[in-house]
Amino acid sequence: MSFRHWIASFTITAVALVGSASAQQQALKPLVVTEPVHGIGYLPLYVAIRKGFFADEGLEIKTITIESGSAPTNAVLSGQAFAFIAGPEHTAFAKLKGAELRVIVNVVQRGNLYYTAAKGKEPSPGADMGSYFKGKTIAVGPFGGTPNSITRFLVKKWGLDLKNDVVFLEVTTAGLLPVVKAGNAQIAAVQEPQTTQGIRQNIWGEPFLNFPKEHGDYAYSTLNVRLDTIQKDPDTVQKFVRAVVRGLKFIHANPAEAAAIAAKEFPTMPPDDLKPTLDRSFADDLWSKDGFVSPEAWATAHSVVRSADVLKQDVGYDEVVDMQFVNKLRNSKQ
């Protein structure tokens, strides 16, 4: 089913549901959020949906996964979706093409990326990363995605040439484990649960490079909307942000219940994968506690995409980030 047909189906279903509701029940406003992958990193959003935090605001949220480059962003730009969750650099990409998007709330506040080595290909303790990576093939997500940009940033930081010193094997999230298992790549740039799955399947060991710990505050995954949505319907944006922030606070205050919700959201994930995945995420302080994107967090993300030559011009914090809705909640202690 095409995205446009999916939207039409969702709209018809939402209207039917509203029409069948009792007169006393408030109709929920349907909104679509696109995501580049359905993953644990977005757990606060899923928690907010399942706990009814959006419903409390009069909103009904449906997520749709689109693993195809700029498609999640384009769905928002075309008005087919309300928001997309992804790296905030995508708002900057759109800015340089003449479109106006804004980051409205933070979700993942660390660079959610781990580097693992195929069994027998691990770096020696204390190895120089430039020397180790030189000549290697790296399994990584598609060009333009944040994991790809971070990897390019690091390779350049270590003094290597992107074209001559390393090979980027760009695959979908699902393809990372198979290509390393088959011996087609020696290094993988992975997130959870792939990190844990690779360890359990003996494809690789524990990460030799932990980007979240080593690079601190990073605007990695944010929720983003069109500027004219903010201008024309700030009330809905405020309600949306309030629900997301409730989801963020909930997972920090109730990790056990958040884990139970994750098990429902990812029913096919074995418990032996889920628990280490969540343990690592909490240990590395993956999720924002209040939804705020600091100028420093954008500066780190900006430096990554500029160094990787994915973003062709500098784009300032105020040109892509709008924290007015988060700040209202912070100031009111909600």
pLDDT at 37 (0 to 100): 85
pLDDT at 20 (0 to 100): 42
CB contact set of 219 (below 8 Å; sequence gap of 6+): 87, 88, 103, 106, 109, 293, 294, 297, 298, 300, 301, 321
- Residue 333 scores a pLDDT above 90: no
b/e map of 30-52 (b: 16 or more CB within 10 Å)? bbbbbbbbebbbbbbbbbbbebe
Selection from 203, 189, 95, 199 nearest residue 142 by Cα: 189
Tell me how far apart the alpha carbons of residues 196 and 201 are, in angstroms, rounded to a whole number.
Answer: 9
- Residue 3 scores a pLDDT above 90: no
- Residue 309 scores a pLDDT above 90: no
C-alpha torsion 227→230→233→235, nearest 10: 160
CB contact set of 123 (below 8 Å; sequence gap of 6+): 117, 129, 132, 208
Share above pLDDT 90 across residues of the chain, in percent, rounded to a whole number: 77
Q: Averaged over 261-286, what is the pLDDT?
A: 93
In tens, the pLDDT along 45-100 reads: 999 999 999 999 999 999 999 876 678 888 999 999 999 999 899 999 999 999 99
Tell me how far apart the alpha carbons of residues 168 and 162 are, in angstroms, rounded to a whole number.
Answer: 8
Burial of 287 (0-12, 13-18, 19+ CB in 10 A): buried
In this structure, which amino acid lies at residue 299?
A
Q: Averaged over 35-40, what is the pLDDT?
A: 89
Tell me how far apart the alpha carbons of residues 160 and 231 are, in angstroms, rounded to a whole number.
Answer: 45
CB contact set of 284 (below 8 Å; sequence gap of 6+): 110, 210, 212, 213
In tens, the pLDDT along 176-198 reads: 999 999 999 999 999 988 999 99
Query: Taking a C-beta distance cutoff of 8 angstroms, is the pair 213, 220 a contact?
Result: no
CA angle 233, 238, 240 (to 5 degrees): 100
In tens, the pLDDT along 5-19 reads: 555 555 545 444 444
pLDDT at 245 (0 to 100): 98
pLDDT at 242 (0 to 100): 98
pLDDT at 308 (0 to 100): 85
Q: List Cβ<8 Å contacts ≥24 apart for 133-136.
A: 133/158, 133/160, 133/165, 133/166, 133/187, 134/160, 134/165, 134/166, 135/165, 135/166, 136/166, 136/167, 136/185, 136/186, 136/187
Confidence category of residue 316, pLDDT binned at 50, 70, 90: very high
pLDDT at 22 (0 to 100): 40
Tell me how far apart the alpha carbons of residues 188 and 192 are, in angstroms, rounded to a whole number.
Answer: 12
Q: What is the mean pLDDT of the chain?
A: 90
Indicate the pTM of the whole model.
0.83
Neighbour count for residue 168 (Cβ, 10 Å): 20
Share above pLDDT 70 across residues of the chain, in percent, rounded to a whole number: 91
pLDDT at 173 (0 to 100): 87
Total number of residues shown for the chain: 334
Query: Taking a C-beta distance cutoff of 8 angstroms, is the pair 101, 132 a contact?
Result: no
- Ordered by where they begin, the domains of the chain are 3-11+28-111+216-332 (3.40.190.10), 114-215 (3.40.190.10)
In tens, the pLDDT along 199-246 reads: 999 999 999 999 998 888 999 999 999 999 999 999 999 999 999 999
If phi > 0 it is left, if psi is from -120 to 50 it is alpha, else beta; for residue 114 that is beta
- Residue 332 scores a pLDDT above 90: no
